[in-house]
Structure 1
C-alpha cells in the first residue's frame, strides 16, 4: 500500500533515519486482518560508493511498525511489531540501489498476505535490542513512479544467468547527485556476459 520508492530516503543511518506514516483506515475490515511488511537491503545494507561496499550501516534487516486503530466504540487499539510476528524470505532475494532487484519467481508472492497459517518458510520474528539511532519524521516528498516504458527486446545473456531487457530511451535517465556534472546511470554487460551497472 505504500506506493513509494526508495523509502526511507538516504540519511546517515548510523545516526538517524526517517519513518513514514500512512492512513490505513480503508485497509481494515471487521474480523481477522493480516498485516505484513516487505523489507529490502536498500542503502542500509546494499552496495554503496565506487567500491560497491555492502553493509555500510549494518548487516541485519529489521522493521518497526506501530498501528493506531480508532474503533467505532471510541476506544483505541495499538498494534506493534513484536515476537508474536513471523518473519521469512520472500521472492525478492536481493534489492540493491546500484545493482537493482533480483526476484525468484518460484517463491509465492501472496501466501504470506492471505494464508490463515504462516508459510512453512517463516519462523518467529526476533526482537532486536535497542539502538542509538534516532527516528525522525519525513522531511521531503517520497520518490514515486512517473511512467513505465515497454521493452523492445528481451533475451538471455551469453552466460544464461540473466534475462536482459532493452528499453527505448524516451528521455535521459539522470540522477541528481550534487556533483557539478550529473552522471548518467545505465546497465552494462561485463566481459563474461553478466549484468552490471555503469556510470558515465
Structure 2
C-alpha cells in the first residue's frame, strides 16, 4: 500500500551529522516550523505547545550553554565524547526548543475538573505530536534533525538567557541542519510483539 503521508513519515530519521547549508532560508524555515506546530492537534484544542527557534549566534549560545552545564557535572576524563556530541548539534543551522505552557494546563484543569488529572498527560501528548510534526516537515524539506533532552539541567539557564515566561516548561530540543552524512537504516521490532488486531 502506498500512502503519501506514510511516505513522508518514512523520510524522518535521526540525523546527527548536520551542517548549516539547508535548502531553504531562515524565513522559510521559521514559517515551516511555526505552521507545523500550529497544525499539530491538541486535546480540547488547548494549543499548549510553545516553540523557541534559534539561529546563528543564538543557536551557538544555546549549545555552549548546554556544554558549560554538562562540563560542570561530567567527569573531565570522560568529557571528550560529550563535547564532540554537543559540537555536532551546534554545527547545524538552528535548534527548536519545545515547551508546554503550564498556565494553559492549569486553566483547563480548573475549567474541566472531571478531567483534571489527565491534562498534564495530554500536554505531553501535545508536545510529542508537535515535535513529530516539525521533524517530519523538516525531513520533507530535506533538512536533517534529531530530538534531544537536556532538560531539566539546562532549564534555569535557558529561561534566564532568553527571558521566557515562567509558565513554559521545556520538554525537548531539536537541532536541525543540512545532511552531512547518509542516514542510517530504520529497524523495527516484530509486528507480532507490537500489534493486536481483532476483526
Under a length normalisation based on structure 1, what TM-score does the superposition of the two structures give? 0.24
Q: Per residue, is there more strand in 1 or in 2?
A: 1
Asked which structure has the greater CA Rg, the reply is: 1
Q: Per residue, is there more helix in 1 or in 2?
A: 2
Higher relative contact order (CA 8 A, sep 6+): 2
